[in-house]
Amino acid sequence: KLSHLTRSTGAGGLAQWVLVELQGEVEPRQSGELAGSLLGDLHYTHEGIPVLIVGHHILYGKVVQLEKPFAVLVKQGAGEPGAEPLARYGVTALIKTKLLFKTRPKPIITNVPKKV
């Protein structure tokens, strides 16, 4: 009936994470799993524009300061009935920034045929 949210104990303040927002879905290359797989490379241009290279696609995004920051919660404590009546969620991290990629991924062409 009651769930408590508390700040996780730890040195210093809460960890700050970053959110990366992508349109559509991400699938593993072969029929592998997502866990442990490499997603891609994240770069920033000199102007601070985030650039994501996934497979042979390139995505351009922008850094957005979240109007409403997120708190990342991790459930702690027993979930069994009768064990502990209070479910606890620890606040693991805060997310105040997101990298939003909403432009269409462009294929990276490395070989441009020369005009004959």
Partner 1 sequence: SLVIRGEKDEQAVLCSKDKTYDMKIADTSNMLLFIPGCKTPEQLKADPASCNIIHSQIAGFSNNYWELRRCRPKLRKLRKLLMEDPYKGPDSQKDQTSTFSQYTTEDLLSLIQASEEEILHELQVIDACKIEGYWRILEFDYEMKLLNHVTQLIDSESWSSNKVPLRTCLEELGSLEPTEMIEHILLSYGRKYTDAGEVYFEMHEDKICRAIAQMLLQNAVKFNLSEFQEVWQQSVPEGMTTKLDQLKGLALVDKNSRPETIFLLKVEDLPEDNQERFNSLFSIREKWTEVDITPYIQDLCAEKQTVGALLTKYARSSMQNGVKVYNSRRPIS
Interaction site with partner 1 (CB under 8 A): 1-7, 15, 17-26, 39, 42, 44, 48, 50, 63, 70, 72, 89, 93, 95, 97-99, 102
The residue (of 35 and 116) whose beta carbon lies closer to partner 1 is: 35
**Local structure of residue 81 (DSSP, 8 states):** T
Q: Smallest distance, Å, CB 71 to partner 1?
A: 9
Q: Smallest distance, Å, CB 9 to partner 1?
A: 12
The residue (of 48 and 113) whose beta carbon lies closer to partner 1 is: 48
* Angstrom distance (rounded) from CA 9 to CA 95: 18
Among 68, 70, 74, CA closest to 95: 70
Angle made by CA atoms 29, 60, 42, in degrees to the nearest 5? 60
Q: Smallest distance, Å, CB 17 to partner 1?
A: 5
* Angstrom distance (rounded) from CA 71 to CA 13: 13
Q: Smallest distance, Å, CB 111 to partner 1?
A: 25
* Angstrom distance (rounded) from CA 97 to CA 72: 13
The residue (of 6 and 111) whose beta carbon lies closer to partner 1 is: 6
